[in-house]
Amino acid sequence: MQLQGKKIVLGITGSIAAYKAAMLVRLLVKEGAEVQVIMTPASKEFITPLTLSTLSGRPVLSEFFQNADGAWNSHVELGLWADAMIVAPATASTIGKMACGIADNLLVTTYLSMKAPVFVAPAMDLDMFAHPSTQRNLEVLRSYGNHIIEPAVGELASHLSGKGRMEEPQAIVQHLKDFFFADKNLVGHKVLVTAGPTYEKIDPVRFIGNYSTGKMGFAIARECAEQGAEVLLVAGPVSLPTPHPAIKRIDVETAVQMYEAATELFPECDAAVLCAAVADYRPTVQADEKIKRTEDNMTITLQANPDIAATLGLQKRDNQVLAGFALETNNEKANAHAKLAKKNLDFIVLNSLKDKGAGFSVDTNKVTIIDRDGEQEYALKSKADVARDIVSYLSRLLIVALFLFMPSQISAQELNATVTLNTSKVQGTNTEAFDVLRESLTEFINNRKWTEYTYEEHERITCNFTFIVDGYSDDGSFTCSLMVQASRPVFGSTYNSTIFKYEDQGIKFTYQPYDRLDFTEDNLDNNLTALIAFYAYIIIGFDMDSMGEMGGSEFLNKALNIANNAQNLGDSGWRAGSTNNNRYTVIDDYMNGAMEPLRLLVYRYHRLGLDTMFKDAEGGRKVITECMNLLKEAYENRPLAYITKLFTEFKQDEFVNLYSYEGGESEKREVVKILSEINPSQSDAWDKIEKSAFK
């Protein structure tokens, strides 16, 4: 059910492959998606609306107005409703209409109104598919950011065999899943990419150039944009359209122009990938007029072009990542290593013209990524897939660079967390992974802005996240328990008062060194960051409850939302009802109206009690004793709630300190009575208070 709750508009056009749409709808529904089918009039010749409405559980839309009552089928609303649109099968005609904006049916009008990503699965005869018109239209759709699901090679309706068969429904669903679960590792980063050849003018009609088409560099630019980066693409003379709407393209012709653009833009970028095949030399003199044939031999004197990579290598700051390419024909690795060092690159992508299917012009490439620590060889792949490998390498280095060269003066945020990993139970495993995880987590918790408020350095809430790692394997899977503890200073004292403490058991997550830790409220795929965000909001919420009566609702509700959304994760720690002290129940109990007395207690205890104690010990303690009645009230409202018991547990030492030495006998007895009723398991601690009453 990986597509649970996703809203999909499925556009079906008039192709024999329309019969596969029935299977596609079934698979999408099986994955938990809501599917709204839109058919072009021609598609109804191939499959009936009845089949599709039965499978999707929704009436199929086809006309602008409904025949029965004339109601408008709003393409605009569908464009806003959908999480994705798939056009499958997509005929040459519909692809052409989409490329040119010919909105003469509901499918194309919906496409033009679509706010969500669009996937297009072409289906047609091989010659139609290969025709430059179709190919150009597909390029146009790509340049709009649409995802083209390439047709497969096989037998076609025409009984010819070739490329044009619509991809199988399973593969289309997989594309969709890949998209929804794709890495977005470059969000917030700016990446410079150079691509294509340069042309060095000899005279007005001739130039020195090379065979680069720009395909490799454009694929890298597209992948960076797909992963959320802002991309600046400096392109030599190529005939490719800009492959993604989020790319800013700067067209140049010569190496000098490329040099000027790249050196100007690099300082504002976090990374650069230099894929262009830059001419090393240019004619010293460019003739104004066409050079006439005279002698049998002629000589053109060349002068060196600036080396863009080497210049950026000199400019590079510690927190920037610089990657280059090496196109070699011999001594490949030695040459690549020499370029890596000479140009001060962080890594270099080697492709050799000796490898079939690699290098210029072709749609595939075979590369080896080399950095100072080693190298990794990759198989022959499409340039899109090679780009994915390169960008994933790049994003890992970017995290390291940001991490190692983070400005030491971080801005004060809400939490001042210490993360500890107790790994004694898994000794002998790769400890680098633990160190990196600890540092990444510390950075994630401390540098994220969890609220829109400004916290001064001294206002930050001190908290400890202590993981006891019970299991770890090299694929990055962890099993642990976690102790979360948060406290804040008591006004005018050196004493810290605990505001939340909880031990969480059986946590499972995966983490590979340098995985980017990020969290968005609607994406809980990363169990680790969802968990940390949950506790961050609880800590902030409890802290705000201690500052003002019920002051933390906004953030406690965020924690509740995460717990609600996370209940579908396989991890039982989130599930309501699985035990009475799981994460969900802890927050759900606290936010329940019956717990209002406890929330008021959190405020009165800290602000009126502990803070008063600084000036007037007796007065402050009396306020706290009165607060105990609020605790009792909360307990009586919901005797089974775990949160009241939890509160007595993490405040236990504080209570013992407060009452062991000060306070009247009846006061102490009353307190012990309440605490023992709520939490008899801590009787040893309450006995200490009881005994002090007789001193």
- Euclidean distance between CA atoms 78 and 85, whole angstroms: 10
- DSSP letters, 616-679, are -HHHHHHHHHHHHHHHHHHHHH-TT-HHHHHHHHHTHHHHHHHHHHSS-HHHHHHHHHHHHHH-
Start-to-end Cα distance in the chain:
64
Question: According to CB under 6 A, which residues from 294 to 313 bind ligand PMT?
Answer: 305, 307-309
Residue 351 found at the interface with ligand PMT (CB under 6 A)? yes
Q: Which residue lies nearer to ligand PMT by CB, 88 or 274?
A: 274
Stretch that binds ligand PMT, among 136-144, 211-219, 244-252, 612-620 (CB under 6 A): 211-219
User: With contacts defined by CB under 6 A, how many residues of the chain interact with ligand PMT?
Assistant: 28
Question: Is 210 among the residues known to form the active site?
Answer: yes
Residue 423 found at the interface with ligand PMT (CB under 6 A)? no
Q: Which residue lies nearer to ligand PMT by CB, 348 or 539?
A: 348
DSSP state at residue 247: E
Shortest distance (Å) from residue 171 CB to ligand PMT: 25
How would you list the strands of the sheet with 477-489, edge to edge? 415-422, 461-472, 477-489, 496-510
CA atoms within 13 A on the CB side of 83: 15
Residue 359 found at the interface with ligand PMT (CB under 6 A)? yes
Shortest distance (Å) from residue 306 CB to ligand PMT: 6
Residue 213 found at the interface with ligand PMT (CB under 6 A)? yes
Which residues partner with 655 through β-bridges? none
Report in angstroms the alpha-carbon separations of 567 from 564, 576, 641: 6, 7, 19
Q: Which residue lies nearer to ligand PMT by CB, 362 or 402?
A: 362
Contacting ligand PMT (CB under 6 A), which of 60, 235, 276, 630? Answer: 276
Residue 37 found at the interface with ligand PMT (CB under 6 A)? no
Q: Which residues contact 152 (CB under 8 A, 6 or more apart)?
A: 163, 165, 166, 167, 168
Residue 199 found at the interface with ligand PMT (CB under 6 A)? no
Token code pair at residue 656: 């013992």
Q: Which residue lies nearer to ligand PMT by CB, 156 or 277?
A: 277
- Euclidean distance between CA atoms 258 and 278, whole angstroms: 8
Shortest distance (Å) from residue 192 CB to ligand PMT: 12
The answer to whether 225 touches 246, Cβ cutoff 8 Å, is yes
Residue 360 found at the interface with ligand PMT (CB under 6 A)? yes
The answer to whether 650 touches 675, Cβ cutoff 8 Å, is no
Stretch that binds ligand PMT, among 224-232, 271-279, 369-377, 488-496 (CB under 6 A): 271-279
Shortest distance (Å) from residue 350 CB to ligand PMT: 8
Q: Which residue lies nearer to ligand PMT by CB, 265 or 327?
A: 327
Q: Which residues contact 393 (CB under 8 A, 6 or more apart)?
A: 323, 347, 369, 376
Residue 484 found at the interface with ligand PMT (CB under 6 A)? no
Shortest distance (Å) from residue 360 CB to ligand PMT: 4
Build a one-symbol-per-residue string for 306-345: x at contacts with ligand PMT by CB under 6 A, - elsewhere: -xxx--------------xxxx-----------x------
CA 122 to chain centre: 29
Active-site residue (options: 105, 137, 146, 210): 210
- Euclidean distance between CA atoms 30 and 585, whole angstroms: 30
Residue 236 found at the interface with ligand PMT (CB under 6 A)? no
Report in angstroms the alpha-carbon separations of 324 from 260, 276, 333, 487: 17, 9, 14, 49
Shortest distance (Å) from residue 373 CB to ligand PMT: 20
Residue 278 found at the interface with ligand PMT (CB under 6 A)? yes
Q: How would you write 46-57 as a 3-class SS string?
A: CCCHHHHHHHHC
**Is residue 294 classed exposed, middle or buried when 0-12, 13-18 and 19+ CB atoms within 10 A define those classes?**
exposed
The answer to whether 654 touches 609, Cβ cutoff 8 Å, is no
Residue 676 found at the interface with ligand PMT (CB under 6 A)? no
Residue 212 found at the interface with ligand PMT (CB under 6 A)? yes
Show which residues are catalytic.
Answer: 210
Binding site for ligand PMT (CB under 6 A): 194, 196, 212-217, 255, 274-278, 280, 305, 307-309, 324-327, 339, 351, 359-361
